Amino acid sequence: MVSPVSEDAPEDLRKTAGALEAQALVEQELLPTDQAPALNKMAKYQVPQRSGDIVMIQSEHTGAVDILSADLESADLLGDHRKVSPPLMAPPCIWTFAKMKEFKSKLGKEKNSRLVVKRGEVVTIRVPTHPEGKRVCWEFATDDYDIGFGVYFDWTPVTSTDITVQVSDSSEDEDEDEEEEEEIEDPVPVGDVERGSRSSLRGRYGEVMPVYRRDSHRDVQAGSHDYPGEGIYLLKFDNSYSLLRNKTLYFHIYYTS
């Protein structure tokens, strides 16, 4: 004959296991003796497992009530802090115009408005938001061949309004540099510039527009984007797909109010 099993048996076993675990930690000197009772009390609470489940915990000292819900992103009693994805970005306004010769002639006379993106390289122009501006604007063109272009936004405090240029050997190397600064969980594999880049930058930065190959050798490529807040725009000129050709780039970046 099989003895009937109480519905409270699994809960009793869980309480016993929690107490034994606390005692074992004390004996191994991994847990201070005064913290063992707290761990025993936590063992009697069940973390919600299914959507809609809730657990109410009342403090024996203050009477305050905490509520845990399985619908919350983190329902770990010990505090499971998970990274939050960047918010979705509003789409940019983009257009082209055909005055290629005049555009290149004008920028060719200006300082820091022309550079060469070598084969296999990715050039990132970092443009901080300006306190007197409301949107960033860009215009660019190339000689003879197209180039990949995309825009991202780094939600970081602005300490300087200077525009800077960063050069990396390829989009893969650029992603590795970013991962050294901050570890990214489950990075998205690098994609094809033909179909739009899907680099791990999307896990850390807001994506304004993915990197696609642009016909910047035929028409001047232009666009603008309203500031989503304080931060730094990353304008990426991607020539990583080219094994033979360097690209001469003419660009004009400014803000408007």
* pLDDT tens, residue by residue, 25-35: 555 555 555 65
Highest mean pLDDT among 23-37, 60-74, 185-199: 23-37
Neighbours of 204 (CB within 10 A): 20
226-248: pLDDT as tens digits: 999 999 999 999 999 999 999 99
Q: Which of 209, 203, 199, 202 is nearest to 90 (CA)?
A: 209
Residue 102: helix, strand or coil by DSSP?
Answer: helix
98-145 pLDDT tens trace: 999 999 999 988 989 999 999 999 999 999 999 999 999 999 999 999
Q: Which pLDDT belongs to residue 128?
A: 98
**With 60 as the cut, is the pLDDT of residue 213 above it?**
yes
Residue 184 exposed, middle or buried by CB count within 10 Å (0-12, 13-18, 19+): middle
* pTM listed for this prediction: 0.61
Q: Which residues have C-beta within 8 Å of that of residue 115, sequence separation ≥ 6?
A: 123, 165, 248, 249, 251
The mean per-residue pLDDT over the stretch 161-165 comes to 95
CATH class of the domain comprising 93-170+204-256: mainly beta
Q: Where are the domains of the chain?
A: 93-170+204-256
